Amino acid sequence: MAKAKYLIVDSREKSKAIKGILAHFDRVGIPWEVHKLRAGDYMDYNHPELIIDRKQNIAELAKNCTTEHERFRRELDRVKAVGAHLVILVEQNRYKDRDEWVPVAKISDLIRWSSPHTVVRGERVYRILVSWTAKYPLTVVFCDKRSTGKIIEQILYNGRFLPSEED
């Protein structure tokens, strides 16, 4: 049976940054409204047990893991307390390492990453994410920015990218 669709978008999302995402929802007929969410950025009203937290890039993810570690861990605690699962959706699926583009499909692909603006290293981000995924109901997904709306739809309504019971 198909899930009924009624998407909630967090009110703190910047409208310019999510214009393409909302256009995708409109194009495929997914109704949506803007409301403040206690955690994450996207959730289906009829299925609040699955929450998506969008990150613009690996640098934002790294910031959440390091300088905003305590704040983000509290968000993970809130998600766990209500029995939900959080998907961190990172709108970057490759990075440049010297002259080579490195694809990112899983958190271990971050080990060689380094921020051009800070001293944060990918190995540290990787270790934190491994710890968090062991302690919390958390999945990290990487995508190309142009496909974010479609990936959100696939996660919320098709269960794609989520760990199976055998994992």
CATH of residue 86's domain is 3.40.50.10130
| Tokens matching residue 138 | 């958390």
Distance between CA 62 and CA 70 in Å, rounded?
13
pLDDT band of residue 45 (cuts 50, 70, 90) is: very high
| Residue whose tokens read 């194009």 | 27
Is there a contact between 138 and 84 (Cβ–Cβ < 8 Å)? Answer: no
Q: What is the pLDDT of residue 118?
A: 80
pTM, to two decimals: 0.93
In a domain, 91, yes or no: yes
| Tokens matching residue 115 | 């921020």
| Tokens matching residue 21 | 């995402």
Q: pLDDT at residue 36 above 80?
A: yes
Q: Over pLDDT 90: what percentage of the chain?
A: 83
**Total of domains in the chain:** 1
In a domain, 18, yes or no: no
Is there a contact between 101 and 95 (Cβ–Cβ < 8 Å)? Answer: yes
Distance between CA 93 and CA 106 in Å, rounded?
9
Q: Choose among 69, 71, 123, 115: nearest CA to 96.
A: 115
pLDDT band of residue 78 (cuts 50, 70, 90) is: very high
In a domain, 59, yes or no: yes
- Domain that includes residue 77, residue range: 47-158
Residues 92-107 pLDDT 10s: 999 998 889 999 999 9
Q: pLDDT at residue 2 above 90?
A: no
In a domain, 41, yes or no: no
